[in-house]
Structure 1
């Protein structure tokens, strides 16, 4: 694929992924303004939960349908659904409408992120795949940092509607590029899609989230609605278990839960998502209502948390890559996160912003030491056949935990606020004609009250939000206890490669086990290519005295007939004059011959033997990197296919036949 066309495709895929990832966090700083405009403070959590549930539960379908019917078609459909959802969110006239339209948006967003990552593997060569995967990881990192800040900027300078409208022109550009330049799918893969498993699991999850949202606030715990939801959730879960036992390709194989590493990381990931998204949802409310800062400034105050998460995620990946040790990281991380949530529970309307920033930094550092590492632990614990589904399962539980966290903590907030307001109204004298219910519909109305009543209402909001973190802290403490039960095992080579995007991603990836191994292998090989690879390979192949540039030429000419010198120079991105000394040395060594007109080069029989040795040495190097997965035909075939592509030689024949 020509470089310009490839650049357009990659840019469009990154735009699509950026939009979907941003919409996970961009609404956080806009929520107080949305509530003041539309009302429905008690429904605030569902603006976040609706998006997360829809994107998370639909992810397995997007991945499998993309394999079966073509990723290009499905990616276009995902963009269209996402843009329709965004437009509808922007014109919402009530909180109920916004929640429904956010669910539509989340349905498209899940497809955007899953399919964008899959399409990269279709259009990028194996040799360059590791580099592009790093770029996509950066998209997740950027979105987690700038999302809350961008939301505040749009609210302050335009309106909250533009948090959603901004997706339209950017998404339209991505859609146009994909339709215009992305090639049609060459190969399709048949799947036996577990539709029943997806529907049952999604239904059970939705019922449980509704119970945590409505129980004790909208309805008493003994109300028939809550009891009915509980019965429905149990029935749906029982049905899901029965379906998964018989499914050919289950959404989540039940056998994974027999592995202690997977079971513990699933629970810990659930709690980590619970704490992270709960904090992101209610901190802007605390900042904007209690401290009276603008949405943009509230986004700035969240930066310590997001920066701590990003920096410690990168550092954790580097530590694991160099030492092979990982167990201490989630233990330390959940301890930090527990302490951070506890410290946040001590905040009140008089707390300083520097103090809050330090507390948020502690929480962010804890999350950063935990999220990415949980995915690595799961990948390292399972067999090859379960690698793909276990990886997506680990991320799935974190995102479902986020949905439960936002909903549960929203119920805690509503309950505590209502209780505090009852006491406040009994002891505080309000201005004549002032409707106390207005405070719950529009928190910004507090700023229009006289100093005395305003201070009382601010304390009520502060106490309610502090209670949110007081409840979240011991739950995170439970995760700390469970991390001690995670076993330490020898780390596989392909698992050592840090994947920032998987750790910070807002949706669970859907890749096959082979794609997961390839993902790690190409990134290891890419790193190897940057560290004197051809120099070492030449020594292994017996090309003593030949510099790396000469080894590269031998590898490139392997299996070819006459190759024009200008074509070879173009592939090396150098001038012919610069490459001539190396070709002259190879000619003197009897490895290369030049055509009579001096324009073309090819290997001599001796050179072809050297090229074969290079190929075999490269193949052996890849085999060593995947040896700890044990013998498996698919992995062997993967090495055969990747070797010539990574080496740049024998592009038209498998490595195992030379």
Structure 2
């Protein structure tokens, strides 16, 4: 990559690349939520109501477990081929989903989509890290974060519109022109210089990591839901995951080119940044899953109002992420993230004080404060991790950070689900609203604990020197 100019925008020679990355991120973000409002139409067409939760789980599972592998491949062969492969796989999955003839087929094709998304999300952040300097990445992170914010609102809306006025199949067919446009723009405008040499791919390590992570996330997603925790599956699936991941660690010690180098876990900054990302994933899951339930079930509003209350979270994030570079260039990554942690913790504690008499505006204000705090945490910690390694390691580092966030979300599924179910089982109010209020209150307490743990991880981050204006060059 050539030296990057200071201005970040869409009119520079890097503008088409940034637009392509935003478009790719939009595809992944929207497809994570777009099917939510189309479930009744899908079930009416294909049947299989009991299986529909897998339409969400299998997509997120396939996406999460492949992220570290794609990150390593990008460091070996370049970002461009991995990104184009991901777009192509996502396009194939979208076409197949649109043509699905049964619920099992749709679930399988959603997994294909997820495998493509597993390449797109980390490659978007890695390419941004390659293309823009440390001073510019905060603003670029804001652009990419804004895509997720808009998609959280636009996705369910599009799903409802397509289902009501066209057919649910257009939820997937609409991806065809978008994938083609994003792929074409990236192919024409992204130019890399990658050293051509023979590589010894760590096939065994990749297989063990993928299978072990799949079983671990599956155990967290389905434990207490698909099967009891104290059952053969509830105990056996996590145990098998631990065994496979332990084997994976031994393989990585001997591999010539390990898929996830163990030095990542000996680097204090990278470890703390991954722990921060883990907590960010948990906080995000707790809010996105339980704020709409609280606003509708306890405050008695409609789904549209609940959606907009949650949208304030995704509004605050890009606003602060886009301005984070001004902060970390002056006071450093750690100090910036500490300020963000303080905002997130404050907002989370205020959420604990909400009750049935609270207003929707109070919920929105808390969510906005948490989102603003997360924007000052997630962007600087990821950029700090990217900035301390070279081009040949940036894919692995970015992939590990994204994988940690996915694991945090999976942990949030198990933790917050258990907290909510325990509150509902022990509820003695005799009122569904009262029980929901108690369950939401306990979940918000758990979210606040996760936010505090995030702040602790940030506190233990080492102070690192902010790199100069250009650290984007490829080898």
Normalization by structure 1: what TM-score? 0.58
> Corresponding residue for 1:258?
266
Contact 1:18 1:143 in 2 (8 A): yes
Give the distance between the partners of 2:223 and 2:87, measured in 1 at CA. 36
Correspondence 1:376 to 2:383:
yes
Give the distance between the partners of 2:405 and 2:464, measured in 1 at CA. 22
Give the distance between the partners of 1:129 and 1:330, measured in 2 at CA. 19
* Shift of residue 233, structure 1, vs aligned partner: 1.6
Give the distance between the partners of 1:9 and 1:18, measured in 2 at CA. 14
> Corresponding residue for 2:439?
464
* Shift of residue 356, structure 1, vs aligned partner: 0.5
Superposed CA RMSD in Å reads 4.4
Distance 1:387 1:51, change over 3 A: same
Distance 1:102 1:340, change over 3 A: farther
* Shift of residue 466, structure 1, vs aligned partner: 3.4
Correspondence 1:365 to 2:340:
no
Once the two structures are superposed, the pairs formed by residues 143-542 of structure 1 within 5 Å of their partners are 143-159=147-163, 161=168, 163-174=171-182, 190-291=198-299, 293-321=301-329, 323-379=330-386, 389-414=396-421, 416-417=423-424, 420=427, 456-494=431-469, 517-518=471-472
SS of 1:300's equivalent? helix
Contact 1:151 1:299 in 2 (8 A): no
Contact 1:49 1:403 in 2 (8 A): no
Distance 1:219 1:178, change over 3 A: closer
Give the distance between the partners of 1:466 and 1:320, measured in 2 at CA. 34
Contact 1:345 1:469 in 2 (8 A): yes
Distance 1:352 1:43, change over 3 A: farther
CA deviations 1:65-108 (Å, max 9, x no partner) are 56777877655543342134335556779887665443321211
Contact 1:81 1:107 in 2 (8 A): yes
Once the two structures are superposed, the pairs formed by residues 25-36 of structure 1 within 5 Å of their partners are 30=37
* Shift of residue 40, structure 1, vs aligned partner: 6.8
Give the distance between the partners of 1:342 and 1:96, measured in 2 at CA. 42
Give the distance between the partners of 1:242 and 1:253, measured in 2 at CA. 11
Once the two structures are superposed, the pairs formed by residues 58-137 of structure 1 within 5 Å of their partners are 58-62=66-70, 65=73, 75-87=83-95, 89=97, 100-114=108-122, 137=141
CA deviations 1:481-509 (Å, max 9, x no partner) are 33322222333325xx8xxxxxxxxxxxx
Give the distance between the partners of 1:241 and 1:350, measured in 2 at CA. 51
Give the distance between the partners of 2:265 and 2:176, measured in 1 at CA. 42
**Greater Rg over alpha carbons, structure:** 1
Distance 1:330 1:167, change over 3 A: same
> Corresponding residue for 2:7?
none
Distance 1:282 1:155, change over 3 A: farther
Contact 2:72 2:396 in 1 (8 A): no
Give the distance between the partners of 2:100 and 2:76, measured in 1 at CA. 35
CA deviations 1:452-479 (Å, max 9, x no partner) are xxxx334434433333222222132222
273-282 or 63-72, which moves further after superposition?
A: 63-72
Distance 1:222 1:14, change over 3 A: closer
Give the distance between the partners of 2:283 and 2:41, measured in 1 at CA. 23
Once the two structures are superposed, the pairs formed by residues 552-563 of structure 1 within 5 Å of their partners are none
